[in-house]
């Protein structure tokens, strides 16, 4: 089975099973996912639909490398290296993003420890987007953005992979609400599918929105070297590539 899977690992930015606390649905989802999860790493961030029964399913059904990366809050935030990538996973669901709290303090320490000669790429993943032109969930990531964007920019995080909104959008590199060549690209890939349906209503397209579409699909990132990454968003229904983009690091 492993030879048939053309991926090294999968990243899921929250709202994992949509069980909403129903443990038999979690079991069914786990059985459906087993052909993937038994052969490749399946890394997760927490979403708002995991916020049932005190997060029990998210805490006890997954084991992410929090302890190994010096974090102190179970699966909720952690980091790991994969090839030339340093990946940071954060919790966007707990509301308070004060700099005095453990998650922010850990984030600063973690970013400061990254050796860009070893892992030239730094990605982040969390559930709620900082920049999104869809009309669903307006401002849901603003509190986190207001607190964390400066440190992301200081340490030159390349891309944030997020979900929450049931659509797809890729932004230009952003910082403080403006397009900046050395800013952070947001890839909103919340279009995996849900019984709640897709979010079809968009604001007038802002200058920072590079591509957006309401369609079920998934994304594939291929890192070729320390400077070139190829990203594709593929439509689930027919495998057609909807968004095709090359990221060239220049910092």
Rounded Cα gap, residues 215 and 99, in angstroms: 37
Give the residue numbers spanning the domain of 46.
2-218
Q: Is 166 a catalytic residue?
A: no
Q: What is the pLDDT of residue 73?
A: 77
The answer to whether the beta carbons of residues 215 and 191 sit under 8 Å apart is: yes
- Is residue 10 included in any domain, yes or no? yes
- Is residue 248 included in any domain, yes or no? no
- Is residue 240 included in any domain, yes or no? no
| pLDDT per position as a tens digit, 199-249 | 899 999 999 999 999 999 999 999 999 999 999 999 988 989 999 999 998
CATH number at residue 173: 3.60.21.10
pLDDT above 70 for 4:
no
Cα-to-chain-centroid distance, residue 111: 17
The single residue of 137, 166, 201, 228 carrying the catalytic annotation is 137
Helix (H) or strand (E) holding 23: helix 23-37
DSSP letter for each residue of 148-200: HHHHHHHTT--EEEE-SSSSEEEEPPEETTEE-TTSBEEEEE--S--TT----
Provide the whole-model pTM.
Answer: 0.94
- Is residue 228 included in any domain, yes or no? no
What is the number of structural domains in the chain?
Answer: 1
- Helix, strand, coil percentages for the chain (3-state, nearest 5): 25, 30, 50
- Is residue 239 included in any domain, yes or no? no
């Amino acid at each position: 089975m492993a030879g048939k899977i053309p991926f090294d690992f999968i990243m899921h930015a929250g709202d994992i099973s949509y069980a909403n606390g129903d443990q038999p649905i979690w079991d069914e989802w786990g059985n459906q996912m087993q052909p993937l999860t038994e052969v490749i790493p399946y890394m997760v961030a927490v979403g708002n639909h995991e916020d049932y029964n005190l997060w029990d399913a998210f805490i006890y059904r997954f084991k992410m490398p929090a302890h190994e990366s010096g974090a102190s809050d179970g699966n909720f935030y952690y980091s790991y290296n994969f090839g030339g990538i340093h990946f940071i996973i954060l919790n966007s669901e707990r509301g308070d993003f004060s700099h005095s709290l453990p998650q922010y303090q850990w984030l600063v320490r973690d970013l400061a420890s990254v050796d860009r000669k070893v892992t030239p790429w730094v990605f982040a993943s969390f559930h709620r987007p900082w920049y999104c032109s869809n009309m669903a969930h307006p401002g849901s990531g603003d509190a986190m953005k207001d607190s964390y964007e400066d440190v992301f920019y200081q340490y030159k995080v390349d891309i944030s992979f997020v979900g929450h909104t049931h659509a797809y959008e890729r932004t230009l590199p952003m910082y403080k609400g403006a397009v900046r060549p050395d800013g952070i690209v947001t890839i909103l890939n919340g279009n995996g599918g849900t019984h709640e349906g897709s979010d079809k209503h968009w604001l007038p397209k802002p200058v920072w929105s590079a591509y957006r579409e309401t369609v079920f699909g998934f994304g594939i990132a291929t890192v070729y070297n320390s400077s070139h990454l190829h990203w594709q968003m593929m439509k689930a229904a027919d495998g057609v590539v909807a968004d095709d983009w090359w990221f060239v690091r220049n910092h």
